[in-house]
């Protein structure tokens, strides 16, 4: 059974990481960078938190085609600015190195199966200067095909309670790791709620079989 979720929700939790460096050893005038991040899940050329774990056959009259089925991705938005910019350091290069995603079911899905954490390398560098906030975006994985297929297999195993459409709710928590050019490491956390199960991503004019 295919279910189309009528709402869209993204939760971005900003977790500031203070990078103290340069001269002064963390004194009032020490330059540093504050970094924050948000996550926007994307799929099939749109922003959505409805993660499809069931590939269906789409039908329109006598015409059939396979439903779009791929990794559910995300856009990661990173913002950074210098703290106390001054004469010593007027700009700083910031690099994002990797991210780890942990998936936790919500209280309204107590019998949901475990989704294994995902960790990936990423190469993103940008320059922060002056009093301005620099914002950049990059693509990342949200829930890949391996985890989607494993989720469906678990839901069909008989071990877990199955709801219509195999639906369960989760929170994806990203821990994003990076460093500044002065060698100071930092982590930034961001979250997005999502629902996983069977959703209709058939093209216009087609319905799931």
Confidence at residue 182, expressed as pLDDT on a 0 to 100 scale: 83
pLDDT of residue 88: 67
Whole-model pTM? 0.83
* Mean pLDDT, rounded, of the chain: 86
Which residues of the chain fall short of a pLDDT of 50?
1-31
Residue 130, Cβ density class (10 Å: 0-12 exposed, 13-18 middle, ≥19 buried): exposed
**Cβ-based neighbours of 46, under 8 Å, separated by 6 or more:** none
């Amino acid at each position: 059974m295919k279910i189309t979720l009528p709402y869209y929700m993204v939760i971005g939790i900003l977790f500031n990481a203070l990078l103290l460096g340069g001269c002064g050893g963390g004194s009032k005038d020490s330059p540093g960078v504050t970094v924050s991040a948000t996550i926007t899940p994307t799929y099939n050329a749109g922003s959505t938190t409805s993660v499809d774990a069931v590939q269906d056959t789409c039908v329109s009259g006598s015409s059939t085609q396979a439903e779009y089925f791929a990794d559910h991705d995300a856009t990661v938005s990173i913002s950074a600015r210098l703290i106390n910019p001054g004469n010593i350091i007027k700009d700083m290069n910031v690099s994002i190195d990797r991210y780890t995603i942990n998936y936790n079911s919500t209280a309204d899905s107590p019998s949901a199966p475990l989704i294994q954490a995902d960790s990936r390398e990423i190469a993103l560098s940008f320059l922060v200067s002056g009093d301005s906030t620099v914002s950049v975006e990059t693509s990342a994985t949200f829930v890949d095909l391996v985890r989607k297929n494993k989720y469906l297999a678990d839901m069909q195993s008989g071990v877990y309670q199955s709801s219509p459409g195999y639906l369960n709710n989760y929170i994806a928590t990203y821990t994003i790791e990076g460093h500044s050019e002065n060698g100071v490491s930092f982590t930034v956390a961001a979250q997005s709620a999502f629902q996983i199960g069977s959703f209709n991503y058939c093209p216009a004019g087609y319905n799931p079989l």
